Structure 1
C-alpha cells in the first residue's frame, strides 16, 4: 500500500506542474482588453498624440481617420477603438529609463559665462541608411565623412571638442555638463539674457557608439551601481573638477549636433517621428523592433514613489542608447520635476505592442 501511495503521489506531480504552467500562461494577456490596468488608464489622453503620428505604412489610413474622429475626452470610445482595431504582441521585459527636455542658460554670442558651444550640423557629415545596402541592416544607420573618395568614420567627441570639425555655433551656454546631458536627451530649451527662449532640436549624430558614462563610473567604483542616475553623475562631475569631468565625458565618443526648432512653449520637442513629444505618453524605442507610431502598453514602476505605471504610450522617438525589443525611454516633459523623475528612472518594464488588426 505504501508503495502504491508513493506511486500515486509521484503520478500527480506532472499533472500539477502542467496546471501551474497553464496558470502561468493564462496570465499573459492575449487581447488588448486583457492588458493589466487597461481599464484604469485615461485612454482619451493618448488619442491626440496617436493621431499626430498616425500615418502609413505603420498605420492604415482608414484607421488613422477613424482615430481622428473619436470624440475628445471620451475614454470609453477610445478604449473601444483600441480594443477593436488592434491586436497584441508581447515585446517582453526590458529596461525602461526616462528622459526630459533640459533647460539651459545661454547667449547668441560668446562672452562672460557663455563659453560652451552648441554646434549645428557640419556640412561634411554624411548619414547612411545601411538598410539600402543589406536587408539584414534595415533600420540601421551610421554617419561619416568622405575623404579621398571613401566614407570614413566621423571624428569622435574629443576631436570635435578640440576643434577637429567645422560646424556652425548656434548658441553659447554656461554649463559643459548641462550641454552633455542636452546631447543625451537630444533636445532642449535655452533661456537667453533678454528673457526669450530658443528651442534646440536634434539635427544629426556623428555615428559613434553611445557609451554611458554612468556605467563607467560604476565599473570604477566611483558610484555604487544601484545608485547611478543623472543626478549622481552630475554630482560626480561637479566634485571631479573641470579636467576630470571633461575626460570622462570624452569617453562617450557619441556627439549630437543641433538645429533651431520651432515649437510652441506648451508643447514638447519634436521626436524622430516628426511630431511633438507628449509627457508620459511618448517613448523612445528601437525602431528596428517597434515601428515608430505604434501604440505600446507599458507596465513599470514610478521611479520616485514606486507606484505602478500602466498606461498607453506611443513610439515616437529613438535614441542612441535605446537598443533591443523591450528597451524604452519614457518622456517626462520639462522642468525640475520632470528632470528629477527622468534622471532616476531605471526600472524593469514589460512592453506590449498594439498592432493594427487585419481588416
Structure 2
C-alpha cells in the first residue's frame, strides 16, 4: 500500500508496455492480447524521513486524534526524564527543557510543542500505518532474603562463568543438572513463593521486591536486569495454545496464571518450554514513584513511557499514540516518550506501553493487545 500524504505529484517510472502486434497478426479465432498496463510507482511525499525499519511521513498536529484534549502537563515529567540523556537532535531543545523550573502551564506547553516540533506519521517501509500495542509493567513481589517454608524459588545474580560459556545452560538444565546448579550456588539474591513470579520478573526484565530481611526488617528494593543465558526466548502462552490448553484469547498473563493454578503438576513442564533464563542485580529503590531505567538509561514513567524498536523510532522521541484501552473500545490517545525496547518489540508501528507497578498495572499489561497508529514529534530543522 502506498501512502499519498502530502505528495504533490505521482511519477511514471519504468513503464513496461507490451505493444500489440500489427493488425491481423493474431491467429484466426484468437483475441488480440491487450497491452500490459503501465506500472505507476508513487514516491514517498516530500520531506519523508526514511529509517531502517520505518518511514516518517510529514503530518500536522491537526491529524493527531485527541490532541486538543491532551493534558501535556502529565507528559512533561517523562519528557524531562528523557532530556537527561537526549538524542543528538534534541540537545538544544532539551537544554530549554532542563532549564524550565516547575510544571509549565498546559497551554504554554501546547504552544511550545506546536512551535518547536514537526509531526510525522510513522509507517512501515511499504506504507502501512497500522501496528500493534502491547503492555508491560514492573512486578512487585513479596520476597525473603533467605528461603522459608513458603518461599523456595530463588532469584539469581549472574554466575561467575556466564560470560565464558555461551550459550549458557538452558532453564531446564539450570533446574536439573548438578554442574549447572553448582554454578548458581551462592548467587541467590532473594527467594519468592511462586515460580510464575520469578518468570514474570525475568520476562519483564526488572521488578520490585517487598523484601523481608534476615533480621525480620522490611524494605523495598529493585531487581534490575544483569544478563541472560543467551538462549532463545520461547512464549509459554504459545506453547499452551499449541497444546490445546488455552485459546489465543485466553493466553494472556491472567489466563496463564489461572491455568497454572488448575494444573500445578504441569507448571514445571510449562516453564521449561522457555529456555531463556534472566539474571539480576540488586539496586536500592531511592524514589518509589519512578520506574526502572529503560534502554535510554532514564527512569520510566507509568502511562507515559513506551518501548519501541529503535530502528524505527529513536530513544528520547515523543510519540503520539492512537489506540484503545485493554479489552475496551475506550480511546487511549496521548503523548508518550520512547524510552525502552524489548526483544519482541520489532517493526515500524510497534510499541509496548509501560503501565507501572502493582495489581492494576499487571492486569492492564497482561490484557493489552491493541491496534495502533502512531506519530512522532521531532525538532524542526
The alignment's TM-score, normalised by the length of structure 2, stands at 0.75
Tell me the residue number matched to 1:81.
112
Is the CA contact 2:87–2:315 (under 8 Å) kept in the aligned structure 1?
Answer: no
Is the CA contact 1:284–1:316 (under 8 Å) kept in the aligned structure 2?
Answer: yes
Tell me the residue number matched to 1:192.
211
Is the CA contact 2:196–2:257 (under 8 Å) kept in the aligned structure 1?
Answer: yes
Write the distance in 2 (CA, Å) between the matches of 1:61 and 1:53: 11
Which of 94, 99, 114 pairs up with 1:64? Answer: 94
Q: SS where residue 249 of structure 1 aligns?
A: helix
TM-aligned CA deviation for residue 305 of structure 1 = 4.0
- The answer to whether structure 1 residue 274 and structure 2 residue 305 are counterparts is no
TM-aligned CA deviation for residue 279 of structure 1 = 0.9
Q: Map Cα deviations across residues 238-263 of structure 1 (whole Å, 9 max, x no partner).
A: 21214x21111211122221111223
Is the CA contact 1:47–1:67 (under 8 Å) kept in the aligned structure 2?
Answer: no
How many corresponding residue pairs? 307
Tell me the residue number matched to 2:63.
34
Tell me the residue number matched to 2:52.
none
Tell me the residue number matched to 2:170.
156
- Map residues 165-244 of structure 1 onto 2, 5 A cutoff: 166-167=183-184, 168-193=187-212, 194-242=217-265, 244=266
Write the distance in 2 (CA, Å) between the matches of 1:56 and 1:295: 11
Taking structure 1 as reference, are residues 56 and 343 closer, same or farther at Cα in structure 2, changes over 3 Å only? closer
Which of 135, 154, 162 pairs up with 1:98? Answer: 135
Is the CA contact 1:267–1:276 (under 8 Å) kept in the aligned structure 2?
Answer: yes
Q: SS where residue 114 of structure 2 aligns?
A: helix
Structure of larger gyration radius: 2
Q: Map Cα deviations across residues 129-148 of structure 1 (whole Å, 9 max, x no partner).
A: xxxxxxxxxxxxxxxx45xx
Taking structure 1 as reference, are residues 210 and 90 closer, same or farther at Cα in structure 2, changes over 3 Å only? farther
Tell me the residue number matched to 1:293.
316
Write the distance in 2 (CA, Å) between the matches of 1:87 and 1:253: 44
Q: SS where residue 46 of structure 1 aligns?
A: helix
Which of 254, 264, 268 pairs up with 1:246? Answer: 268
Poorly superposed stretches of 4+, deviation over 4 Å: none
Tell me the residue number matched to 1:338.
361
- The answer to whether structure 1 residue 357 and structure 2 residue 357 are counterparts is no
The root-mean-square deviation of aligned C-alpha atoms, in Å, is 2.1
Tell me the residue number matched to 1:17.
none
Write the distance in 2 (CA, Å) between the matches of 1:156 and 1:287: 28
TM-aligned CA deviation for residue 58 of structure 1 = 4.4
Write the distance in 2 (CA, Å) between the matches of 1:276 and 1:154: 30
Write the distance in 1 (CA, Å) between the matches of 2:203 and 2:275: 12
Q: Map Cα deviations across residues 84-110 of structure 1 (whole Å, 9 max, x no partner).
A: 222233223222111111121211112
TM-aligned CA deviation for residue 34 of structure 1 = 2.7
Q: SS where residue 111 of structure 2 aligns?
A: helix
Write the distance in 2 (CA, Å) between the matches of 1:289 and 1:41: 24
Query: Structure 2: 5+ residue runs without aligned partners?
Result: 1-56, 123-128
Write the distance in 1 (CA, Å) between the matches of 2:118 and 2:173: 48
